[in-house]
Amino acid sequence: MQNGYLTLETGEVFEGVLIGAEKDSLGEVVFNTSMTGYQEIITDPSYAGQIITFCYPIIGSYGINVMDDESITPALSGVVIGDLCETPSHYQSVNKFSEKLKQAGVPGIAGVDTRLLVKTIRSRGTVKGYLSRTKETEFDKTEKAPLWVEKVSTKKTQFFKNRGPHVALIDYGFKKSILNALLAENCAVTIVPYNTPYEKIKALNPDGVLLSNGPGDPMELKKWFPDIKKITQAYPTLGICLGHQLIALAYGAKTEKLAYGHRGGNHPVKELTTGKVKITAQNHGYVVVDESINENIFHVTYRNVNDKSIEGLTHQTYPIQTVQFHPEAHPGPSDTEYILKDFVNQLASLGETVYAAK
């Protein structure tokens, strides 16, 4: 194996051995605290343009299976791990982690002191990094990133027939698990591109709308806030992760970037109406600013136990609910599964009723 280097824009250099695709890569260096789920993580479209550092020390021990990809093509920029397991042991394994990266065209580096790297990110804040074969003391830190949502969103409408309520899933980089969860609840699902206007959503005649997770700064989608507001005023709506942020922004709230984000399967979130704490899976670098919420418009439903940030909202008038975490994921293992079920039950009870004036 060839030696490689991860150079941070703040000057720190981390050495290891290169794995995966043989190419250099630039990206925002983030870390994930999950103990399992590396296959789902590297195929999550929300990581588009980022270099993921896995906190768990051994990656690859149970291999790669044919079921757990969250997207067809990984969009992340790179992977950083401690120990690489090249002899996976699981009856469903069909591939090694390193081979999965190579086939997906994703570069990686193993043998890195990930504990030190994570401590560096936590002290510096999220920084750009350059993954390469040589020590790069200088690289373009000002290079403007593309609109990652546009890169990962579907380019055409897709329909999944079912016997239950019809949900329009606006794709900002949705995880397959969200689609599967809706289908498991007997929903018919139409997946539409991120920039689908209100009139086209209306033409689909859905019973409800789900705004998905996705990568990047939500303010990059400012152009579509008016359509998002119209859509949410016309149909029962659930926003997940980026979808949560976009709904808040569409109604006049603000977002800000966290120092190093929430990424992992062990984030405690308190449900304010019951006082119960849920264990949630999260993957986001931005949050809705507390002081920007108009209490006459939204009611805060969930808060992060660790930093008290907003984790969920409900609209005071319209049937709109949002969550910053992923209810379709199973870290609890099913602490927040009821959120999707309640959303679908709401659609079923409303039936074809249009509750807002078009």
Say if residue 202 is exposed, middle or buried (CB neighbours under 10 Å; 0-12, 13-18, 19+). Answer: middle
Neighbouring CB atoms inside 10 A of 306's CB total 10
Has 262 been annotated as catalytic? Answer: no
What residues are paired with 31 via a beta bridge? 53
Please report which helix (H) or strand (E) contains residue 257, including its range.
Answer: strand 255-271
- Of 355, 255, 267, the C-alpha closest to 305 is 267
CA distance 84 to 111: 7
* Residue of 251, 244, 200 lying closest to 225 (CA atoms): 251
326 is annotated as an active-site residue: yes
**Catalytic residue (choose from 241, 244, 262, 267):** 241
Residue with tokens 């000057």: 11
Backbone angles phi, psi at 131, to 5 degrees: -100, 120
Q: Give the DSSP H/E element, type plus range, for residue 201.
A: helix 198-204
Provide the 8-state DSSP code for 67.
S
What letters, b where the CB count within 10 A reaches 16 and e where it falls short, cover 163-174?
ebbbbbbbbbbb
How far is 217 from 44, CA to CA, in rounded Å? Answer: 16
85 noted as active-site residue: no
Contact 102, 60 (CB under 8 A): no
Amino acid found at 142: T
Cβ 241 vs Cβ 213: under 8 Å: yes
Inter-residue contact 153 to 57 (CB < 8 Å)? no
Q: To which H or E segment does residue 184 belong?
A: helix 176-184
Active-site residue list? 241, 326, 328
